[in-house]
Amino acid sequence: MPIHSTSSSLKVTIFAIPKAMEGETARLQQNAFDSWRRLGSEVQTILLGDEVGLAQAAQQFGFQHIPTIQRNPLGTPLISDCFQQARQAASASLMVYLNADILLGNDFLDTIQQVRSLDTNRFLGIGQRWESNLEDSVLPWNDQKLEDWIVRQRTASTPASIVCKDYFIFPRHLYQAIPAFAVGRGNWDNWMVYHAHRSGIPVIDLSQEITAVHQPHGHSHCGNRRAAYVVGDEAKENQKLAGGRHLLIGSHASHQLGNAGQLTPMGSRIFSRAWRDAPRFIGLLRSLMNVR
C-alpha cells in the first residue's frame, strides 16, 4: 500500500543528532541546517540532544528540539532512543535520519515525493555523498546560489565510497527495535542496511536522485577517525551489538528507483557497482590505516 503522510502538508520528518555548536563544527552544522530550512514547510525537522548551542540553533532555524536523550556510559547518544523519540514526535509517516553536516538541495524533496508514491510501505533508502570542503557560511547566500552550488558538486567534487552512509529514508513504522548503538561510531549504519536485507526489505540506491553534500571534518571528539569507526571501544561495542561489521552486505542496495517511480532490482549491477567503488573503498581503508 502507498505511504500517506499523517499531515497533508508534510512530506517527511528529518531528524538528526548534532554535535555541540562550537568552533568549526558550528559552521558546518549551521550550513547543513540552513539547507534543510530552505526545503520549506513540507519538511518537519527535529534536533536531538542537549549539546551546547543546540537549543539556540533549533530556535534559529525553526526546528523542533528534543533535549533529553539516553546516552552510554561515555556520554555518547544512543541511536535506539533517538530513533524512538523522533518517531514519537514525527508528524509525517516518512522519516529521514540525516547526519548533521550534510547539505541538501531541491532534488531531495523531488525524490521524497517519488518514494512516497511507491506501492510499498517497506523500504530503506540510502545513497552516496559528495565531498566538498566548503570554506564559507551559506547563511547569507540566496536560495538560487545555494542550489546552484549543490547541483555543481556532482561534477566539481568527489563522491565518497558507498560504505559511507549519511542518510536513511524509511517509513515510520520500521526500525522500532534497534540495538543500543553509539551514534557517530562505526558499524551501526552497516547494521541498518544488513537488517533490511535480512528482513526482506528493499534497499533503494538513491545516489542518482539525491545530491547529499558532506563537509569534511575531524574526529577529535573521539580521538581520530580510525578510533571512531574501527578500533575504539565504542566502535567495537557497536560491532558486537550488530553481530559483526556487515561491511559488504551493509553497504549495497538491492534496488534502484526507476524513471517511472518503480523499484528495479539491481541484479548483477551490484557487482559492477562494487567494482567501480573499489578505488574509493581502498582509499578509505588507507586513510584509516594512516591515522596517527
* Residue 288: Cβ-neighbour burial (10 angstroms; 0-12, 13-18, 19+): middle
Q: What is the pLDDT of residue 288?
A: 58
Q: What pLDDT was estimated at residue 267?
A: 77
CA dihedral sign of residues 39, 113, 207, 18: positive
The residue extents of the domains of the chain are 12-289
Give pLDDT, residue 158: 85
Candidates 128, 121, 161, 118; CA nearest to 264 is: 118
Residue carrying the nine cell digits 561495542: 237
CATH architecture assignment, domain 12-289: Alpha-Beta Complex (3.90)
Q: What pLDDT is stored for residue 28 in this prediction?
A: 96
- Please tell me the predicted confidence (pLDDT) of residue 280: 67
| 189-231 pLDDT tens trace | 999 999 999 999 999 999 999 999 999 855 555 555 667 767 7
Q: Which helix (H) or strand (E) holds 272?
A: helix 269-289
**Which residues in the chain land under pLDDT 70?**
1-9, 217-226, 229, 260, 268, 271, 275, 278-292
Environment class of residue 88 by beta-carbon count within 10 Å: exposed (0-12), middle (13-18) or buried (19+)? exposed
Q: What is the structure's pLDDT at 226?
A: 66
Give phi and psi for 223, each to the nearest 5.
100, -80
pLDDT of residue 286: 63
